[in-house]
Amino acid sequence: MTSRHIANHRIVLAAHPRGLPTLRDFRLETTSVPLPGEGEVLLRTLYLSLDPYMRNLMDEVGPGYAQPIAPGQPMVGGTVGRVIASHHPGFSEGQIVLADGAWQDHVLADGANLLPLDGLARPSLALGGLGMPGFTAYVGLLDIGQPQPGETVVVAAATGAVGSVVGQLARLKGARAVGIAGGDDKCRHAVEKLGFHDCLDRREPGLAERLAAACPDGVDVYFENVGGDVLDAVLPLLNLGARVPVCGYIAHYNEVAGVGGRDLRPGLLAAVLQKRVRMQGFIILDHYATRHGRFREEMGRWVERGDVVLHEDIVDGLEQAPAAFIGMLEGRNLGKVVVRVADE
Amino acid sequence: MTSRHIANHRIVLAAHPRGLPTLRDFRLETTSVPLPGEGEVLLRTLYLSLDPYMRNLMDEVGPGYAQPIAPGQPMVGGTVGRVIASHHPGFSEGQIVLADGAWQDHVLADGANLLPLDGLARPSLALGGLGMPGFTAYVGLLDIGQPQPGETVVVAAATGAVGSVVGQLARLKGARAVGIAGGDDKCRHAVEKLGFHDCLDRREPGLAERLAAACPDGVDVYFENVGGDVLDAVLPLLNLGARVPVCGYIAHYNEVAGVGGRDLRPGLLAAVLQKRVRMQGFIILDHYATRHGRFREEMGRWVERGDVVLHEDIVDGLEQAPAAFIGMLEGRNLGKVVVRVADE
């Protein structure tokens, strides 16, 4: 039995958002966590990951692959933390670990779901390119998309946590990587820093025409993470036998059910049919058991060699997480969004 | 050089239809065909196949996998014919063959694209269950859908040329076949004659609720040939890892571009993602080289044994083809629609 507690700051869901979340949909609370009991570990959160999937957990009806968050419950998210107290034989004070955490500055964990990050020079990368988003890019592009040398791969949110890795892996596999991103600065970053062959600013007019010009041999793999206008622009360019791994559709996450324009579904079916497209949804949670070991090994090597460059957009302070999250949904970040909750 | 000709009746496209074709979009013409030259074969058409894909060829912009038909050109279609004159060593007078023909009562062919149907008791079946529609069901269900024993397979147009074979093959593979069809008579036919486990009348209200009740274990394979309301009803029922072979989307073939309701595409993407669905378009023409031999062997045996029952909706007279085609697009047929152009 533990009788001592320490203060914990956390951000809870105040209300289910309608459309794009606002700051009023979140609330900062101070609670307390007990010191760890037998087999438990107490972590000080160093970094909190912000990812688009979290938006789906904020709705009253969840996405099926994870529980929705009820008002009053803490926002969930991956964290990197330092062990500040351990009653678990596998973990010692000062160790840095990856946790299935929440938007809070302390985590009480039972040790079973903690992954030690010993020896990782930048532990926050375990939330980005070396973690779930990188693994999503890896499985989606390599296992489902299967780009061949000389093929053309298109990905939007090209400077985001997932898209930036998709483009770099496509290039490593000898494919032509064409990115789409919001803004000229991001496009320059994609080409100059990440090695995309081309990158188009989705805010400029004529995306469909510009994408057609940038993909003179059509599109063999479209890594779908946005939907919307980008999907419209890609569909006519898909080559026969194209592959479309479906990772997300962030352009629609903030749509209010029942509100929308024309029914574009027949056009999607037509493209799938006529181009013999294989469109396959995947949830990265399914693939840890079989593919994560190989991913860590390969991606670790690529990052070490500089073959894959990982850019982070670091925001300081837990209290900034809601604004940073909203900004990410609006595409205001450049690279993987990480909240620095405490200094290493 | 041939100087003698014989009269040929044919039906040409009079105008690109807007929406559902009308009789005015077709025109019956009398032309002439020459007697066969060296290496050529002249056929008297016995049976003409009517299939939904033809609707897509009638638009100004074709579907990509086949040339659109220009006004004044004959409507295309598979035919079964009897050789009435041959200057080709491989074919002799009186022989029954399958041809890539047109809506006409004589076909002049070069012999390369003719398939002899010797020994087939009902040669018209080469246009249906033993031909392209049956092969479409076979490849789509078995190669892409891959139903496992105990799984649930849903197919609409359950008494049509393709759907009726899909349901029977699903049953042969030990799966539960749930059909959807337009009308109580068709549903009875599907269950009593074709061996579907259940069949729902899509004209009755509450399709989504009734389908959910008919699929208590969800849907593992949805053979997509209609789109529209049926797709709406199926999406929420898809199980994790469901397969959706996309063969067509007839509910939308007559839609005029730019006219439609809400944008339902995000819901489709959500289902593909959350349920890890594999949705794959296919065009049956791609599969003849690799799979047709095995199909003919297996399907021939199943039909001979009575494991697969093939029901035809036979219409007499070439001049009736346009009305029968329009009727098929409206779902007025029961079974594979075949026009008997001449008596065997």
On chain A, the residues whose CB falls within 8 A of the CB of B249 are 266, 269-270, 273
For residue A142, CA distances in Å to A238, A275, A305, B156, B277 come to: 18, 21, 20, 34, 18
Q: Write the DSSP string, A249-306.
A: -GGGTTPPTT--SS--HHHHHHHHHHTT-EEEE--GGGGHHHHHHHHHHHHHHHHHHT
Q: Chains A and B: how many Cβ contacts under 8 Å?
A: 122
Give the other-Cβ count within 10 Å of B102's Cβ. 22
**Token output for B324:** 């029968």
Q: What is the pLDDT of residues A67-96, one digit of tens each?
A: 899 999 999 999 999 999 999 999 999 999
**Which of B143, B162, B244, B246 to probe the A interface (max A CBs under 10 A)?**
B246
In order along its 344 residues, chain B shows pLDDT tens digits of 345 788 999 999 999 999 999 999 999 999 999 889 999 999 999 999 999 999 989 999 877 778 899 999 999 999 999 999 999 999 999 999 999 889 999 999 988 889 999 888 899 999 999 999 999 999 999 999 999 999 999 999 999 999 999 999 999 999 999 999 999 999 999 999 999 999 999 999 999 999 999 999 999 999 998 888 898 899 889 998 899 998 887 777 776 654 445 567 777 887 788 888 898 988 888 888 899 889 989 998 999 999 999 999 999 999 999 999 999 999 999 999 999 999 98
Q: Are the beta carbons of B275 and A281 separated by less than 8 Å?
A: yes
Predicted TM-score of the model (pTM):
0.86
Q: Are the beta carbons of B273 and A246 separated by less than 8 Å?
A: yes
Q: Are the beta carbons of B63 and A255 separated by less than 8 Å?
A: no
Q: Are the beta carbons of A277 and B281 separated by less than 8 Å?
A: yes
**What span, in angstroms and rounded, lies between the C-alpha atoms of A224 and B42?**
52
User: Which residues have a Cβ under 8 Å from the Cβ of A255 and sit 6 or more positions away?
Assistant: A19, B266
**What span, in angstroms and rounded, lies between the C-alpha atoms of A323 and A50?**
11
* pLDDT on residue A262: 54
**Residue of chain A with shortest Cα separation from B236:** A64
Q: How far is A126 from chain B (nearest CA, A)?
A: 24
* Residue B191 CA from chain centroid, whole number: 20
* pLDDT on residue B288: 84
**Residue of chain A with shortest Cα separation from B56:** A270
User: Which residues have a Cβ under 8 Å from the Cβ of B142 and sit 6 or more positions away?
Assistant: B169, B173
**Token output for B43:** 């056929």
On chain B, the residues whose CB falls within 8 A of the CB of A260 are 262-264, 266
Q: Are the beta carbons of B63 and A270 separated by less than 8 Å?
A: yes
Q: Which residue segments constitute the domains of chain A, with CATH numbers given?
A: 5-124+310-340 (3.90.180.10), 132-284 (3.40.50.720)
**What span, in angstroms and rounded, lies between the C-alpha atoms of A25 and B292?**
59
Nearest by CB to residue A263, choosing from B261, B269, B275, is B261
* Residue B240 CA from chain centroid, whole number: 29
Q: Are the beta carbons of B278 and A283 separated by less than 8 Å?
A: no
* pLDDT on residue A277: 85
Nearest by CB to residue B246, choosing from A63, A227, A269, is A269
DSSP state of A237: G
Query: Residues in chain A whose beta carbon is closer than 8 A to a beta carbon of chain B?
Result: 63-65, 224, 227, 231, 246-249, 252, 255, 258, 260-266, 268-283, 286
Q: Are the beta carbons of B249 and A64 separated by less than 8 Å?
A: no
Q: Are the beta carbons of A272 and B280 separated by less than 8 Å?
A: yes
* pLDDT on residue A270: 78
Q: How far apart are the first and last CA of chain A?
A: 30
On chain B, the residues whose CB falls within 8 A of the CB of A63 are 270, 274
- ipTM, 2 dp: 0.80
**SS3 assignment, position A169:** helix
**What span, in angstroms and rounded, lies between the C-alpha atoms of A160 and A181?**
9
**Residue of chain B with shortest Cα separation from A265:** B265
Q: How far is B289 from chain A (nearest CA, A)?
A: 16
Query: Residues in chain B whose beta carbon is closer than 8 A to a beta carbon of chain A?
Result: 63-65, 224, 227, 231, 246-249, 252, 255, 258, 260-266, 268-283, 286
In order along its 344 residues, chain A shows pLDDT tens digits of 345 788 999 999 999 999 999 999 999 999 999 889 999 999 999 999 999 999 989 999 877 778 899 999 999 999 999 999 999 999 999 999 999 889 999 999 988 889 999 888 899 999 999 999 999 999 999 999 999 999 999 999 999 999 999 999 999 999 999 999 999 999 999 999 999 999 999 999 999 999 999 999 999 999 998 888 898 899 889 998 899 999 887 777 776 654 445 567 777 887 788 888 898 988 888 888 899 889 989 998 999 999 999 999 999 999 999 999 999 999 999 999 999 999 98
Nearest by CB to residue A269, choosing from B64, B227, B283, is B227
Give the other-Cβ count within 10 Å of A85's Cβ. 16
Q: How far is A21 from chain B (nearest CA, A)?
A: 19
**Which of A235, A246, A252 to probe the B interface (max B CBs under 10 A)?**
A246
**Residue of chain A with shortest Cα separation from B247:** A273
* pLDDT on residue A258: 47
**Which of B269, B276, B283, B287 to probe the A interface (max A CBs under 10 A)?**
B269
**Residue of chain A with shortest Cα separation from B246:** A273
Q: Are the beta carbons of B266 and A286 separated by less than 8 Å?
A: no
**Residue of chain B with shortest Cα separation from A63:** B274
Q: How far is A279 from chain B (nearest CA, A)?
A: 5
* pLDDT on residue B1: 38
**Residue of chain B with shortest Cα separation from A239:** B64
**Which of B265, B276, B280, B286 to probe the A interface (max A CBs under 10 A)?**
B265
Nearest by CB to residue B266, choosing from A64, A255, A271, is A255
On chain A, the residues whose CB falls within 8 A of the CB of B263 are 260-265
Q: How far is B258 from chain A (nearest CA, A)?
A: 8
On chain B, the residues whose CB falls within 8 A of the CB of A270 are 63, 249
**Residue of chain A with shortest Cα separation from B256:** A266
Q: Are B31 and A238 in contact (CB under 8 A)?
A: no
Amino acid at A74: P
* pLDDT on residue A287: 87
Q: Are the beta carbons of A262 and B258 separated by less than 8 Å?
A: yes
Find the angle CA(B57)-CA(B63)-CA(B65) to the nearest 5 degrees.
100
* pLDDT on residue B36: 92
